[in-house]
Each structure stands twice: as C-alpha cells, then as structure tokens.
C-alpha cells in the first residue's frame, strides 16, 4: 500500500488537491442553490454522497425548481451521466475487483478519469484515480453541507461567482497536456461545439456534444500530423 501511494510524486498530489478544493467550492454553490430552491438541507448532502455527479445534480435540482416533474429531472440526469459509459471503457484497469470495483465505479467522474488517463504507468494511474475520487467523495458532500447552511443566509449565490473557480482550475490543468497539434485542434473543435449548443441544451449535455470532435483526432493521427 505504501508503494502504491509513493507513485504520487511531483506536482500530482497538489493538482489533485486543487481540483478537490474547487469541487468543494462548487458544492457550496450547489448546496445553497438546492436550499434556496425549496429542498431540505439534507437533500443536496445525500445526493452529493450517493450520486457524486455535479452536472446531473445541478440539472436535477434546476428542473425541479423550475416546476418540472421528478421523472423528467431523473431522465435528464441519467442522460448527462451517460458519459460514464465511455469513461468505464477508458479506465477499466483502475477500478479494482469485487467490492472495491463497486466503490471504484462510484468514484468515476470527469476529474478522476482525466487524472488517470494523464498517467503513463499503471500504478500511477490507479493511485491518481483513487486519490482524486476519494478526495471528491469527501469534498463534494462537505461543500454541499456548507452551502446548505449558507443558503438560508445568502440568497443570491450567483453573486459570489463560486461557479467560476472549477472551470478555471480544470483549464489550468488541461492546457499543459495539449502538446500535439492534433490534440489541440480536437480540443478547440470540441470546445467550439460545446459553446455552440450551450444556449440550446440543458447543463451537462454540451460536454457530450463535444465528443463529436473525437474523430478529428483519429484522422489527424492517421495522417501523422504531430506537433
């Protein structure tokens, strides 16, 4: 076990800590939003621990708060979480076996998969995945609990700008990884697609639309277009 965690050297633990902190801050906004939308204080905390998927939880709360049916909110959340299917295919080696695999699947989200895929060595992939996943499992519900308490005091949580911290941290972590020309072009194409459909799709779905840019990376790779 010690050798397992020793693989997390360099700046990786710091980067994971920053992402978990950002997730906790967004959890504060989520908890406050849920309470001000009429949910009980315990609801965002319970959802945060059991669902552990920020975009689908925000979408669920938003639909219910807007007067939508619980069934529509549930289906929308499941649709947003459909991205976990390719995630599972991308990182099957980090989940473990037996009961541990069930927990590993529960910890699967955008951040854990990104950190795992960014590592070259199998041990380092597993360590990054689990450290990030367990950190988010703690920070997200904890942030939601704090937000639920603050929600009774601060009514306009958007004025605090808490939701800007998370994408800023993710962008800072992503930019150094864009080392090749095909990868940069694919990332830009995906971002353009997501921005184009954002006004027309619910929260979380533009990220799925960005996956349509992936064939561009395959084409460029076959052409041998590097750097």
Q: pTM to 2 decimals?
A: 0.71
- pLDDT at residue 224, rounded to an integer: 54
Residue scoring higher pLDDT (117 or 223): 117
Q: For the chain, give the percent of residues with pLDDT over 70.
A: 78
- pLDDT at residue 139, rounded to an integer: 95
- pLDDT at residue 119, rounded to an integer: 85
pLDDT, tens digit (0-9, with 9 covering 90-100), for 2-34: 555 566 767 888 889 989 998 998 888 888 888
Encode the chain in three state secondary structure: CHHHHHCCCCCHHHHHHHHHHHHHHHHHHHHHHHHHCCCCCHHHHHHHHHCCCHHHHHHHHHHHHCCCCHHHHHHHHHHHHHHHHHHHHHCHHHCCCCHHHHHHHHCCCHHHHHHHHCCCCHHHHHHHHHHHHHHHHHHHHHHHHHHHHHHCCCCCHHHHCHHHHHHHHHHHHHHHHCCCHHHHHHHHHHHHHHHHHCCCCCCCHHHHHHHHHHHHHHHHHHHCCCC
Q: Is the dihedral of CA 27, 28, 30, 34 positive or negative?
A: positive
- pLDDT at residue 138, rounded to an integer: 96
Q: Is the pLDDT of residue 218 over 70?
A: no
Residue 227 pLDDT grade (very low, low, confident, very high; cuts 50, 70, 90):
very low
Q: What is the arithmetic mean of pLDDT over 197-223?
A: 70
Tell me the pLDDT of the chain averaged across its residues: 80
Q: What is the arithmetic mean of pLDDT over 208-212?
A: 76
pLDDT, tens digit (0-9, with 9 covering 90-100), for 99-126: 889 999 999 998 899 899 888 888 889 9
- Encoding tokens for residue 217? 């990376």
Q: Is the pLDDT of residue 157 over 70?
A: no
Q: Mean pLDDT lowest for which of 23-37, 74-88, 142-156, 205-219?
A: 205-219
Question: How far is residue 118 CA from its own chain's centroid?
Answer: 15
Residue 226 pLDDT grade (very low, low, confident, very high; cuts 50, 70, 90):
very low
């Amino acid at each position: 076990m010690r050798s397992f965690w020793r693989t997390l050297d360099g700046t990786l633990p710091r980067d994971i800590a920053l992402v978990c902190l950002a997730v906790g801050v967004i959890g504060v906004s989520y908890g406050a939003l849920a309470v001000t939308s009429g949910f009980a204080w315990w609801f965002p905390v319970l959802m945060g621990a059991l669902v552990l998927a920020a975009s689908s939880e925000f979408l669920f709360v938003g639909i219910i708060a807007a007067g939508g049916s619980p069934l529509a909110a549930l289906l929308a959340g499941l649709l947003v979480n459909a991205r976990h299917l390719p995630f599972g295919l991308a990182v099957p080696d980090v989940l473990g076996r037996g009961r541990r695999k069930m927990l590993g699947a529960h910890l699967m989200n955008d951040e854990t998969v990104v950190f795992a895929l960014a590592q070259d060595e199998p041990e380092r992939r597993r360590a990054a995945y689990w450290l990030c996943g367990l950190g988010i499992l703690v920070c997200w519900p904890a942030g939601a609990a704090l937000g639920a308490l603050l929600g009774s005091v601060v009514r306009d949580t958007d004025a605090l700008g808490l939701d800007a911290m998370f994408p800023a941290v993710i962008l800072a972590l992503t930019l150094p990884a864009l080392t090749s020309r095909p990868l940069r072009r694919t990332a830009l194409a995906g971002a353009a697609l997501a921005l184009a459909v954002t006004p027309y799709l619910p929260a979380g779905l533009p990220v799925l639309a960005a996956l349509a840019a992936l064939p561009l990376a395959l084409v460029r790779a076959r052409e041998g277009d590097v750097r």
